[in-house]
Structure 1
Amino acid sequence: MSILAEEQIERFFNVLNQSSEIIQKSKDQSYLDSLIEVLDTVQSGDVQALNLAKADTTAVSDIYATFNRDDYDSEVLRKAIQMAVLKAIKVDKIQANYQITPDTIANVVGYLIAGIFNGHRQLSLLDPAMGTGNLLTAVANQLSDSIGVKLSVSGIENDDAMFELAASSFELQHIHAELFHEDTIQNVLVPMVDVALSDLPVGYYPIDANTKGYNTRSTTGHSYVHHLMIEFAMNHVNKGGFGFFLVPSQIFKTSEAKQLLKWMQGHVYLQGLLNLPTELFSNKASQKAIMILQNTGGGAKQAKQIMLGEFPSFKDQTAFQKFLTEIDDWQRNDLLQ
């Protein structure tokens, strides 16, 4: 990344941070809620909507005046927003489900998608658990830049605060998207897409009545939400389309795996399972992998060789680039044959 881009990220982060701190103190509320208000008003400059005392209104107005949206590209804005959300997580001591997908992982997901869809003029994406929208916007920006594809983007998020952060982030980045503030498992009416991608929440889904109609639901007790979301997402992917999901690397070694595997047969092809470097996780049990699924139909077939492996350390650039080359070869010689 250029020095100019890094300076711009820091400059916009300072706009977000300084304004959020003023609002947080003025209204005696969380940093996160203050950040949501800033993201909602910084582009329009509508400080009156913040309902602050006169001195604070003037202070925020002066900060907003230093921001001109046209001075920034989408990636710079995304990274600054990401930094501000990370600060909110730290300051407010927010629970783990607000954790943001690291850019290194988002870049790999974008790379995998670009390798498959290079040469396509249009591409539609869906994230059924978009959170703050960081993974979805990172991949959208990457695909626009790397393969120049025209994108249609959809995302679903049930959490109020995360949805508001995502909606403002998309708007600031000028990424046109159809966003749904709903519970994915309750069968949201989203468009059919070419690619589903998501850093899936892991754990049990609490409302058993909502899982009726899902093949991946548990026969006893609560069902795994990540299994349900994979099924939902692939049901909204076109024939022959793909799913790229961040899942526990041990996903097929749990007692619930039987239902998932049973559903997969006849519905999707497991084309790859790539473990992410262990250094990114606190322990082996929390390690995640990128699961690559492809819907049946549309000329799709099981790859001659399923791509299995583990990424080398992202710090070892030589080994990392070598692994990406192996993925390129696999996509060209096995997956897309």
Structure 2
Amino acid sequence: MENAENIIDGGKVRVEDGLPKPTTVKELETIYKQLDLPHQSSETVRRLLQLSLLKVIQKDTIQPNYQMTPDTIGMLIAYLIEQIVGLDQPSTILDPVVGTGNLLTTVMNYLAKVSKQPVQGYGIDNDESMLAAASVSSELQGLPLQLIHQDAISNLDVPQVDLAVADLPIGYYPLDDNAKNYQTKAASGHSYVHHLLIEHTMNYLVPGGFAFFVVPSDLFKTKESENFVKWIHSVAFLQGFINLPTDMFRNAEAQKSILILQNHGSGAYQAKQVLLGTFPSIKDQRAFRSFMTEINQWVKTSLNR
């Protein structure tokens, strides 16, 4: 983190209480110049920062909910947005659990590259360390990203947005008083935090806006799923539920999927068929291209009038 902040400050190493030593300062400043980040693309900078953070994560014990969203998932979501939402619509995007910002900035870079126009991002997180990483990352990438430190299960200081993405944490939300006004709250005891986050995020989407959530593949197989599905039908259209490649996960219990919801309003309607399936392994290029073709065909036949 200190290295990133030094680079933002023009490549000058901060010295406090005589540390780092002059020889180390000289070495670091030489390395900073060699990076030449101002002349690199935002995506190149993002990947460099991701690799650096991964090295830190490998050395430290990091909670599962603190792990960075893999690039593969970010690129798959970005591709789905391009095909389903289009590139002339989204100008604002929200991630209510932004963490280090890897998912959000992956999508923002992809959309900006393909559409040739910037997308304003908003990121929420209650972990200061994660937000600090997201802050230096977005600044080094030159991305218009506003980051807010707060509990996402509360009123958010953001405008309504065109699009939302989130790699949701899994588990129970401990503050029952905060959850009591949510339709997706549990009948008794603590509520699922991913249910609450999905409901709250949809409140900040414009009518007809899309959200792409990374969720457990057993999302609709829990005791709370009946009430959760009932809530979805009351406010949104369930347009897709796609399993991520199975080889990305250690076991079936860890399997995740992409949930695609679209807010009611602004001419939105339920697709003729919900987009279902499983992404093949990225390693199987032929099967992967075939599945992408199926998605494109679904957009033409089921989503477009």
Classify 1:50/1:301 alpha carbon distance in 2 versus 1 (closer, same or farther; 3 Å). Answer: farther
RMSD over aligned CA atoms reads 1.5
Question: Percent identity between the aligned chains?
Answer: 46
**C-alpha distance in 1 between matches for 2:137 and 2:216:** 27
1:143 aligns with 2:108: no
For residues 295-320 of structure 1, the C-alpha deviation after alignment (integer angstroms, 9 at most, x for no partner) is 01110111001011111111111110
Q: Which residue of 2 is the match for residue 31 of structure 1?
A: none
For residues 187-222 of structure 1, the C-alpha deviation after alignment (integer angstroms, 9 at most, x for no partner) is 222111111111111111111112122111112111
Q: 3-state SS of the aligned residue for 1:153?
A: strand
Q: 3-state SS of the aligned residue for 1:138?
A: helix
Classify 1:122/1:291 alpha carbon distance in 2 versus 1 (closer, same or farther; 3 Å). Answer: closer
**C-alpha distance in 1 between matches for 2:4 and 2:16:** 11
Aligned length: 302
1:190 aligns with 2:158: yes
Q: Which residue of 2 is the match for residue 249 of structure 1?
A: 217
Instruction: From 78, 97, 102, give the equivalent of 2:70.
Output: 102
Letter in 2 for 1:199: D
**Alpha-carbon distance, 1:294 to partner:** 0.5
Letter in 2 for 1:47: V
Letter in 2 for 1:312: P
Instruction: From 169, 188, 194, give the equivalent of 1:226.
Output: 194
Contact 1:234–1:243 (8 Å) recurs in 2: yes
**Alpha-carbon distance, 1:327 to partner:** 0.6
Q: 3-state SS of the aligned residue for 2:53?
A: helix
**Alpha-carbon distance, 1:119 to partner:** 4.8
Contact 1:216–1:260 (8 Å) recurs in 2: yes
Q: Which residue of 2 is the match for residue 78 of structure 1?
A: 46
Contact 2:90–2:162 (8 Å) recurs in 1: no
**Alpha-carbon distance, 1:166 to partner:** 0.3
Q: Which residue of 1 is the match for residue 4 of structure 2?
A: 39
Letter in 2 for 1:324: M
Give TM-score, length-normalised by structure 1: 0.86
For residues 116-141 of structure 1, the C-alpha deviation after alignment (integer angstroms, 9 at most, x for no partner) is 34351652110111110001001111
Query: What residue ranges of structure 1 are gaps of 5+ in the alignment?
Result: 1-35
For residues 244-267 of structure 1, the C-alpha deviation after alignment (integer angstroms, 9 at most, x for no partner) is 000001100001212311211220
For residues 156-198 of structure 1, the C-alpha deviation after alignment (integer angstroms, 9 at most, x for no partner) is 1111111100011000000011111111012222111111111
Q: 3-state SS of the aligned residue for 1:65?
A: helix
For residues 18-48 of structure 1, the C-alpha deviation after alignment (integer angstroms, 9 at most, x for no partner) is xxxxxxxxxxxxxxxxxx2221221322312
1:276 aligns with 2:244: yes
Give TM-score, length-normalised by structure 2: 0.95
For residues 233-289 of structure 1, the C-alpha deviation after alignment (integer angstroms, 9 at most, x for no partner) is 111001011010000011000012123112112201101000111111111111000
Classify 1:309/1:227 alpha carbon distance in 2 versus 1 (closer, same or farther; 3 Å). Answer: same
